[in-house]
Amino acid sequence: MTDIAARLEALESRVGLLEDVNAIRRLHWAYGYYIDFNRADDVAELFAEDGEVIFLSGIYRGREGARRLYGTWFRSLFLAPGEEAPAYGFLLDHFQMQDIITVAPDRQTAKGRFRAVLFGGSHETRAFKPQGLPLQFMEAGIYENDYVREDGVWKIKRLDYMMQWQGEYEAGWSKTTAHLQPLTECYPENPFGPDEIRSAEIRQTWPHRHDVPMHFAHPRFGAVLASKATS
């Protein structure tokens, strides 16, 4: 019976971890769908109360910071005054993929890495053309995120998006300088700005490139390092 009980406990743990991974994957995929249609309040509710977003070298803190980024700024950038998404002739489609999720042994925290590819822009017949936004553009980036279980529900603790490249559709990425540049001014001086600028690590955007450290170890090298640490 002891052996059976141990095996049952191990199976329950494995099932629990799988459920956690699926819940976190669903959480991040929902994030992608919500920002497609500028649903800032829904995006904010995906974050823990003390969560944060790192975007263009700025830190947006808490759900209020998330609303300022995804609602106030993105709404002004993408939509005409009074216009609601989905808006006629406006495209902003995020594809979230290649997820690697690592749940902590106590199942209260986790880390996740995702790749995002997005397509955006405006149809030629759309009356409102967002200033500074190409009519057709592509973008890709990598997320290295932290998650926390809050009141039994997985939430985003820290979302860190590192743009990898942007490309205007006609010119391609070889002739494009990113239309998004690092943030330089905080809120409230900049009504769309972050709560803090990460001055120690300003990430210049495309064509500059940045390493994105992985939260997980290579399976073979990780095992070697682990054995050395315990020897």
The pLDDT profile of the chain, 231 residues, written as one tens digit per residue, is 588 888 888 888 899 999 999 999 999 999 999 999 999 999 999 999 999 999 999 999 999 999 999 999 999 999 999 999 999 999 999 999 999 999 999 999 999 999 999 999 999 999 999 988 999 999 999 999 999 999 999 999 999 999 999 999 999 999 999 999 999 999 999 999 999 999 888 999 999 998 888 998 766 555 554 455 444
Q: How many CB atoms neighbour CB 165 within 10 A?
A: 16
Query: Which pTM does this prediction carry?
Result: 0.89
